[in-house]
Structures are given as C-alpha cells and as structure tokens.
Structure 1
Amino acid sequence: MRILVQTEPFDATALMQGFGAGAGAVVTFTGLVRDDDGLVALEIEHYPGMTEASLTRHAQAAAERFALSDVLVAHRHGRIAVGEPIMMVATAARHRREAFDAADFLMDWLKSRAPFWKREIGAEGPRGWVVAKDTDEAALDRWTNPQ
C-alpha cells in the first residue's frame, strides 16, 4: 500500500511500476482539475500527518472489504492548474469486480470525506471553498447504506 500526499505532479506510469504484481485485475483512476465556468486552478489545503493517517485508514478498509492485494492513493495539495492531475487511485485484486468496486469506493470517500479543503481560483482571483454536492453524498451513502 502506498499513500502519497504531495505538491508536485505525479507520474502515473512511474507509480504503476510493479503495482499489483500477481493480481488478476488492476484498476486506475486519475482525476484532473476540470475547466468549469472559467476556473483557472484549485488551491488544496490539508493537515500534514492527519491527512495521511486518514487516507491510510480508508485504504486499509478498502483492502479488507474488497480483498485487495495492493492499493495506491496519490493526492496533490497546493495550487493545481486546470488540466493537471489532482489525484490518482489504483487498486489490485484477484478479480475485476473487486478492483473496480474498491476504486469506486475510494473515489466516493475521497470526493466527500477526505480531509482536504479545496478553493476555486478564477481569472478574477479566489472564488470560494468547494463543498460536497448532494450527488457526492449519495454516491458515498451507497457504500454504507446499500439498498
């Protein structure tokens, strides 16, 4: 398991070297800063130590829940421009369904609950802090309250 929280861009190809050796399925997801409504960048803040510990606990929970053989979570902080990678999740499991579900589970948690604070920056300057949307909460809720 690898948890990375860093300011510099990450190289997804390099991070995947040797990842999931012996697994039957590997799933990766890389999130990019979207060009929404004139957005120029995101500024992401976090509390060092607390953030890594929280990400590690959740990655371990995913590994147990979905029988993963490997997990990678990389997340950036600081100023990140539109089009740049903001985060990456990789999961490795014996079967594809577990790998896909685990990646989805991790992404839903990262989007709504991970201890990062995001502020939008437009051409005019800072706009405001990003809050989880109802759809983000509903996506997370399906893992704790299955129908």
Structure 2
Amino acid sequence: MLDIRVQAAPFDYGTECSNVAKGMPDIGAVVTFCGIVRNNDSGTLQQMEIEHYPGMTERALEKIAMDATGRWDLGACKIIHRFGPLAPGEIIMMVATASAHRADAFAAADFLMDYLKSRAPFWKKERTAHGAEWVAAKDSDETALTRW
C-alpha cells in the first residue's frame, strides 16, 4: 500500500505512524523518519519556504516509492512532504516503511530518504532578517545515492 501526500497543512506524526500498518497482521516492522525544519548555521532562520510543482512532485514521489517496493518486500510505504512557509521546529516531512522483517523496512526507509534529499523536486528558500536565499544541493547528499 502506497500513501503519498504533498500538502501545506501540518500532520500528526504519531497518528500517521500508528496507521502505517493498521490492519496488516503480517507486518513485523515499521521504520519511520521525521524531518524537522532546523535553524541555519548562523541561527538566524525565520522561515523555510518549500516550493514544488503540483502533479510532477507527486508522480516523482510515487515513482521512487514504487522503486522501493520493488527492491524490498514492503507491505506499506508512506511519504508525506509539506510545502509552503515553515518555521524552525515544524515537521516538514515523514517517511514510513512497513515489512514483515526489519531489514527491508530499514533499507527502504534509508533509500527513500537519500532520494528525497537529492532528487525529489522540492526547492527550499531560507528567509532571515537579512533576506532570502535558495538552499544549494549538498555534495554529501549526491554521494549518498551511490549506495543504491
């Protein structure tokens, strides 16, 4: 079961986690990751603004989720990613994978996070009292993809 959502509204992480494998008695492991907007290196972040192309983004996330379910034995895969203005401390996204065994759930969640950090079509802009600046891609995120 895939659950892919791109939304502006906040979501309840605990509720989303508890519903990943609901009604699936063959699931023995659920792995989750929650991304939170953190302050920038200088401690001046007022807001992180996330932009995306509706339709294209959902299709890209669905494609990578399907890839994960093809590589690992997953009963469920959930990706929720927010867009719009977000303050430090707010939940920005989550990934959850469910499988009969932990190894598949862990590997799939790790794979999905590496993809989301480097290939998902989201653009981030940091807003501070000094202005706004687009966040550049990191070489370390690109390097992480080589594992897969």
Q: What TM-score results when the alignment is normalised by the length of structure 1?
A: 0.92
1:18-45 per-residue CA deviation (whole Å, 9 max, x = no partner) reads 3223211000000000112221221111
3-state DSSP of counterpart to 2:11: coil
Q: CA–CA distance in 2 between the matches of 1:18 and 1:44?
A: 26
Which consecutive residues of structure 1, in runs of 5 or more, have no partner in the other structure? none
- Cα RMSD after superposing both structures: 1.1
3-state DSSP of counterpart to 2:58: helix
Moved over 2 A (4+): none
Query: Match for residue 29 of structure 1?
Result: 33
Which consecutive residues of structure 2, in runs of 5 or more, have no partner in the other structure? none
Query: Match for residue 7 of structure 2?
Result: 6
Q: CA–CA distance in 2 between the matches of 1:130 and 1:97?
A: 33
> What is the number of equivalent residue pairs in this alignment?
142
Query: Match for residue 44 of structure 1?
Result: 50
Q: CA–CA distance in 2 between the matches of 1:107 and 1:14?
A: 20
Q: CA–CA distance in 2 between the matches of 1:48 and 1:89?
A: 19
Query: Match for residue 141 of structure 2?
Result: 136
Query: Match for residue 91 of structure 2?
Result: 85
1:37-92 per-residue CA deviation (whole Å, 9 max, x = no partner) reads 22122111111001001100100110110111100000000001100000000000
3-state DSSP of counterpart to 1:111: helix
Q: What TM-score results when the alignment is normalised by the length of structure 2?
A: 0.92
Query: Match for residue 113 of structure 1?
Result: 119
